[in-house]
Amino acid sequence: MLRNTDTRWGSVAQAFHWVIAALIVVQGAIGLTMMELGMTPTKVKVFALHKSIGLTVLALVLLRLAWRLVQRAPREVRMPAWQRAAARLSHFLLYVLILAVPFSGWLFNSAANAPLEWFGAVHVPSLTRGFDPVLKAFALRAHVVLFWILVALVVIHVAAALWHHYRQRDDVLLRMLPARRKRNLFRRQGVLP
């Protein structure tokens, strides 16, 4: 099912969720390791890769938000009001952060007057009018601080998902995962119709 239903996230919403989550993990790993590289041609290539994947994340998050807004989310699973409020707030903040982290990277790159080519193929415009040292320092700080806030929130988010699954034994995690076809051995062997 492509669209969300009353009880499950559709496959489009699921694909957005898991692809973006995976890319953010990759981005965090590249971002942190590339800072350790010496001034080599590899560093330039890895920086370019980080920026291209980051811009891809930004585009995917915008598409994901559009998809999210044109249809209804599944009905909320039954839980105490404070948990529902915490889930809503944390999901909202996650959306803000997955937009703000790549955006601040783009802003930093623009204020540093560094070139920006999406996978070497598409020229991406600058967000500033040339070099801006104050904005550059601010955007870099924002990029790093917001990244670590995102990491903290994702840790809580994952812990909550696992808690729902293993402790509460509810459908919160399952409905964000592809539905497993119930294979009935007897039916496959023709014992049952």
Residues in touch with ligand HEM (CB under 6 A): 17, 21, 24, 27-28, 31-32, 35, 47, 50-51, 54-55, 57-58, 68, 73, 87, 91, 94-95, 98, 101-102, 105-106, 108-109, 116, 140, 143-144, 147, 154, 157-158, 161-162, 172-173, 175-176
Across 14-43, b (16+ Cβ under 10 Å) vs e yields bbbeeebeebbeebbebbeebeeeeeeeee
Alpha carbon distances (Å) from 152 to 108, 128, 146, 148, 158: 22, 30, 10, 6, 10
| d(C-alpha 117, C-alpha 82), whole Å | 45
Least distance from ligand HEM to the Cβ atom of residue 184, Å: 27
Looking at beta carbons only, is 7 or 184 nearer to ligand HEM? 7
Selection from 153, 35, 46, 161 nearest residue 100 by Cα: 153
Looking at beta carbons only, is 86 or 87 nearer to ligand HEM? 87
Least distance from ligand HEM to the Cβ atom of residue 181, Å: 20
Looking at beta carbons only, is 3 or 91 nearer to ligand HEM? 91
How close are the terminal C-alpha atoms of the chain, in Å? 25
Q: How many CB atoms lie within 10 A of CB 45?
A: 13
For the chain, the helix, strand and coil percentages under 3-state DSSP, each to the nearest 5: 65, 0, 30
Looking at beta carbons only, is 89 or 187 nearer to ligand HEM? 89
Least distance from ligand HEM to the Cβ atom of residue 101, Å: 5
Looking at beta carbons only, is 12 or 87 nearer to ligand HEM? 87
Least distance from ligand HEM to the Cβ atom of residue 186, Å: 32
Least distance from ligand HEM to the Cβ atom of residue 191, Å: 36
